[in-house]
Structure 1
Amino acid sequence: MTTTPSLPRVCLVAITKHGAAQVAALARQLPQASICVAAKFAETMQGLPNPLLAYDGAFKDRIAPLFEDFDQIVFFVSLGAVVRLIAPHLRSKDEDPGVLVVDDAGQFVIPVLSGHVGGANAMADTVAALLGATPVLTTASDVGKTIPVDILGRELGWTVEAPKLNITRVSAAVVNEQPVAVVQEAGSARWWTRPTPLPPSIHRFERLVDVDLERYAAVLWITHAEVPPALWERLHERLVVYRPPADAVRSTEVVQ
């Protein structure tokens, strides 16, 4: 049975009076998000249903708890200040929350940390739509509108099976528009959610045996099958395997 994914824990953060006003405006549209502002600005949040975290003292002392307690942190603080504040707390893209910055005029939303795995790119799209702002994405696969190798199928419950080096190498092949084979033997075909077609460098197959492995710079294999050690060795750093949920039915719907 498929489970509904839990909502991300979001915190909207400001350290100035103007930033607090921006947070209040966004919080009205994100009632599930928490708010973190200096205690002297807490009054401006009255009437909002959002959980309020009012702090006294140095804001830098709030960063560690924010990193621990939230999946997405949206700062209405300058980009340079945010970089300096979060730098001592960075661990890895598998552990760090998504961090975003909104400029003082509310015109741009910038994912700073954990764009893919942490979901900051998707959150930037959401926040930008609510603010009427522009998301500033710098992740190559998003800018190039191609396959995000590290999170492909995540919203469908797929898990990734590959060494991190493979994910890095295969991601490079994808964004550099080298020929890449996507072999889907299991799971829903509705993994391509962008409004544009798949790039011409991506070639789709229904069975691994139909792929001339030497012709492709990388192989993305969506399957329930066991991967023979000899195949990992043969493809070396060119293979990434995706595992749909065991009860997922193979869809025949074609990805455009």
Structure 2
Amino acid sequence: MPVCYNHASMMICKKIISTITAAAAAVALFTVSVPVALAGSDNASRKAITSSRSFPKMNTARKDLLKETVSVSSDDSESWGGVESLNVPETKSTAEKKAEEEAKKAEEERKAAEKAAAEAARLQAAEVSRSRASAATSSTSSSSVSNDGAVDAPVSANGAGVVAYASQFQGVPYVYGGTTPSGFDCSGFTQYVYAKFGISLPRIDYQQRVWAQAHGTKVNDPQPGDLMWRSGHVGIYVGNGLMIHAPRPGKSVSIVPVYASFEYYRII
């Protein structure tokens, strides 16, 4: 430290002391600030490193998510069926199955009855034909043919008997207004046949229907011998889907398959 003896020396000493003090302060400040700066720099560096490491990860995740989202697509060429395309097996209730079985059984029984009746009618018709042949050679036969060509009705007054009797007139020509075996129209034929069994039908077809509605029973399961009616025409049900009738001019009494729209009446 300099020694100051006078005023000038004291001034010089003060300047020297101030300079030394300022220098010392500057050195101290530098000594403190450098580590702090280095520490701050190190922390900033570390934070930057941490950020640089975390940001790419976040960006990568977002890129992967975007990639996955974009990669989801639908195949327009695929054929997707609706509910109606499902192959669901149909099921029936016990009641439905039972009803079907009963209907099937009833139909089988009806067909069997028709077949039996038709066979009985065929046999009876054959028997009547033999009787007629015998009557033609015997003048004392009680079943001889009358002057108008008619024959006696069979003894059995049932549907099969009606069919058997009616079958004898196959081949008789259609005659408009005809009511005898010399020639029949449709209602004349049915009136003649049923009359032999004690049934007095009116002359015209629609009147026969009215009579049948009043004295018979309309049925949906026709049996041999039932009266058949449709607008403008009548006939007799034979069985097995067949009928006998006098069709139209130029035709003759014949057995043919039943055609549509007939009503059936049980009158015997």
TM-score norm. by structure 2 comes to 0.21
Task: Name the structure where helix makes up a greater proportion of residues.
Answer: 2
**In terms of Rg, which structure is larger?**
2
TM-score norm. by structure 1 comes to 0.22
Task: Name the structure where strand makes up a greater proportion of residues.
Answer: 1
